[in-house]
Amino acid sequence: MNALLAFIKKEFLHIFRDPRSLLIIVGMPIVQIILFGFAITNEITEAHIAVVDPSRDEHTTALTRKILSGKYFILDEYLPSEKQLEQSFLKGKIKVGLVFEPGFSQKLERGEHPQIQIVTDATDPNTATTLYNYIRAITADYALALHPSKATPGGIDIRTRMLYNAQLKGVYFFVPGLITIILMLISAMMSSISLTREKEKGTMEILLVSPLKPVMVIIGKVIPYVFLSLLNGTVILLLGVYVFHVPIRGDLVLLFGEIILFIITSLSLGILISTKVETQQVALLISLMALMLPTIILSGFIFPIENMPLPLQMISNAIPAKWFIIIIKNIMLKGVGMAYIWKQTLVLTGMALFFIVASVKNYKTRLE
Amino acid sequence: MREQNDYIVYVKDLTKVFGDFVAVDKINFRVEKGEIFGFLGANGAGKTTAIKMLTGLLAPTSGEAVVAGFDVRREPEKVKYNIGYMSQKFSLYDDLKVSENIRLYAGIYGLSRKEIKRKSKALLEELNMVALRDKLVGELPLGWKQKLAFAVAMIHEPAVVFLDEPTSGVDPITRRQFWEMIYKASVAGTTIFITTHYLDEAEYCTRVSIMVDGVIEALDTPKNLRLKYGADNMQEVFVLLARGEHTLQGKIKKEK
């Protein structure tokens, strides 16, 4: 027991004396959450809009004012005709053009259906669709206020409710994903590097000759990183809750239990990597290329897994982060309990066990 | 007849086979308490494999090895508590302080807190390194590091210390000092099992064994070996043996 404590103490000293390790462990989570939280967002605000409105009558001005009143659109200019729109698009001045039919109000008063054309810059399809939806929604709203009875064609009344994230905030989506990525990175990468460093420097040999059992060496390596990862997870959660107002609707104990499970899974994966490679560089390369990229791209963090081709969907099942993102989103945003996430929890537990058994086996064969 | 436990290292027909390559082929030798046992051989002769078996890093294919009274096959854990080890690669942590390195290894070998304190102090005084206790090991010159590594390898007072080319890359003066430490330890009763590439160092050993192609070709005191092979120094003995020119078979092989 004393031997293990001495070893753990040494591990902490390594981390605190190495500026690079410290930077990764302390700096990265904070930089990442601020980057993702502020810069990368799928919410669009202040999109520039040009309006073509020949009649400038009661309804067109009222509707235009309504569209411009939110934070979503900024009026670039009024254009005399539709033809000038393209120039503005080409110059990159606007994202949307709004074209009213001449004599808009008159037609509306007569009970006809005057038309509005929405022109968007679809070089970025997501932005185009989002802006189109904003205007459609505002227009529908306006029409509804005008003729409450007529706005329900065929008597079907559509009322949308966005559950769990009513304002469709991007941060709600990124904070759980970010915790996943950072835990994965710190746990898997740092532990694999730290173990291969012992191999590279030759100290591993001394440890293997010493009475310290290989299992103890692994446990001693892992404990500091469990601790630091947990600390990091907590910092990100706090930032998420207090800076970005992301809710934690579920049970905190369950949430931390699952976080610890994921840390153990990632750490055991890092150890497995270190049993297979000899140098720190290779360990770093494998952690980054083989772990980080698939984790970011295939875990559902950025791209929805449902839209991927089947082979990629199947690969995504092998990525621990995929299961953890489902778990953590469900706990934080939906507030569900174990009854709803036991399947994913089981998958993660299975993966962790597999990695641990594989690593211990690999370490034993090094001793034979 | 003496019991095998009377020897610090007792090796009988020890063999290690990798696939169809016989790295160590039925070697036999005994090392007595307090001896400085030189374990020589060219690269690839099977030295490292033999040491790995004696220190419990590698399981023997067949044969028997008893180190510090414990069978390496049946009680590897007990063997580990009773041996010290210092490898050719540097065995301390550069980013830890001198005192932290001492404490770490003392802790790993299960010394109590009180013992660690007492031992650290004695060790630093003995090495004249008290003033350097809070320095990072990485900042020390190589010679100092090697001496510290040797002292640390003996912190748990092992019956035998395995030194795997401890002096490679060290300047002559430091090597000299290093050997003084080895002598001191041997006089105090610690058995030294050392491999080296410097054949002048072989002269300092109580007895020397020379391994060639997985077998022990010669084992005796440096003086006897010189007389036997009619050589002026160990260098000549080694070259003679390693080239295989001392046997008729070897001569034939050579001429082909």
Chain A residues with beta carbon closer than 8 angstroms to that of B150: none
Does A92 reside within a domain? yes
Same domain, yes or no, for A196 and A257? yes
Same domain, yes or no, for A83 and A186? no
Domain end among A127, A155, A183: A155
Torsion of CA B50, B55, B58, B60, to 10 degrees: 60
Q: Find the closest chain A residue to B102 by CA distance.
A: A6
Same domain, yes or no, for A219 and A343? yes
Candidate from A144-158, A187-201, A211-225, B156-170 with smallest mean pLDDT: A144-158
Say whether residue B106 is in contact with chain A using an 8 A CB cutoff.
yes
User: Which of B58, B80, B112 faces A211 most closely, judged by CB atoms?
Assistant: B80
Please give the pLDDT value at position A368: 41
Tens of pLDDT along A232-268? 889 889 988 998 888 999 999 999 999 999 999 999 9
pLDDT at A179 over 90: no
Same domain, yes or no, for A36 and A52? no
Same domain, yes or no, for A123 and A176? no
Say whether residue B255 is in contact with chain A using an 8 A CB cutoff.
no
Same domain, yes or no, for A63 and A35? no
Torsion of CA A181, A182, A185, A186, to 10 degrees: -160
Better-scored residue on pLDDT, A245 or B63: B63
Does A100 reside within a domain? yes
Does A161 reside within a domain? no
Output the CA–CA distances (angstroms, integers) from residue B28 to A149, B10, B158, B181, B218, in the order listed.
Answer: 104, 8, 23, 28, 11
Tens of pLDDT along A188-205? 888 899 889 988 888 888
Same domain, yes or no, for A262 and A280? yes
Say whether residue B215 is in contact with chain A using an 8 A CB cutoff.
no
Better-scored residue on pLDDT, A355 or A302: A355
Please give the pLDDT value at position A240: 87
Sequence letter at residue B195? T
Domain end among A103, A131, A155: A155
Contact A206 B100 (CB under 8 A): no
Chain B residues with beta carbon closer than 8 angstroms to that of A3: 107-110
The ipTM is 0.84
Beta carbon pairs, A and B, within 8 Å: 78
Same domain, yes or no, for A33 and A52? no
In A, what residues contact B, Cβ < 8 A?
2-3, 5-7, 9-10, 13-14, 17-18, 201-203, 205-212, 367-368
Q: Find the closest chain B residue to A205 by CA distance.
A: B87
Q: Which chain B residues in 185-214 lie under 8 Å from chain A, judged by CB atoms?
A: none
pLDDT at B3 over 70: no
Chain B residues with beta carbon closer than 8 angstroms to that of A6: 103-104, 106-108
Does A136 reside within a domain? yes
Contact B77 A211 (CB under 8 A): yes
* Spatial contact of A54 and A98, defined as CB atoms under 8 Å apart: no
Among A21-35, A345-359, B4-18, name the most confident range. Answer: A345-359
Contact B89 A18 (CB under 8 A): no
Contact B80 A206 (CB under 8 A): no
Q: What is the mean pLDDT of chain B?
A: 88
pLDDT at A215 over 90: no
pLDDT at B193 over 90: yes
Tens of pLDDT along B119-162? 999 999 999 999 999 999 999 988 888 889 999 999 999 999 99
Nearest-5° Cα angle at B212, B76 to A210: 20
Q: Find the closest chain B residue to A204 by CA distance.
A: B91
Please give the pLDDT value at position B2: 60
Three-state SS at B37 = strand
Token duo for residue A361: 């086996």
What's the number of domains chain A is made of?
2
Average pLDDT over residues A209-215: 86
Same domain, yes or no, for A359 and A211? yes
Contact B95 A205 (CB under 8 A): no
Better-scored residue on pLDDT, A81 or A262: A262
* φ/ψ (deg, to 5) at A247: -80, 155
Contact A5 B91 (CB under 8 A): no
Domain end among A92, A122, A155: A155
Domain that holds residue A114: 47-155
Candidate from A170-174, A308-312, B135-139 with smallest mean pLDDT: A170-174
Does A200 reside within a domain? yes
Say whether residue B179 is in contact with chain A using an 8 A CB cutoff.
no
Distance, CA of A283 to CA of A288 (rounded, Å): 9
Q: What is the CATH number of the domain that holds A58?
A: 3.40.1710.10
Say whether residue B91 is in contact with chain A using an 8 A CB cutoff.
yes
Burial of A314 (0-12, 13-18, 19+ CB in 10 A): exposed
Does A242 reside within a domain? yes
Query: For the whole model, what pTM was predicted?
Result: 0.78
Same domain, yes or no, for A105 and A143? yes
Same domain, yes or no, for A210 and A274? yes
Q: What is the mean pLDDT of chain A?
A: 86
Does A163 reside within a domain? no
Please give the pLDDT value at position B169: 79
Does A188 reside within a domain? yes
Chain A residues with beta carbon closer than 8 angstroms to that of B81: 211
Among A114-128, B8-22, B225-239, name the most confident range. Answer: B8-22
Q: How far is B106 from chain A (nearest CA, A)?
A: 8
Q: Find the closest chain A residue to B162 by CA distance.
A: A209
Please give the pLDDT value at position B41: 87
Same domain, yes or no, for A191 and A123? no
Average pLDDT over residues B185-213: 92
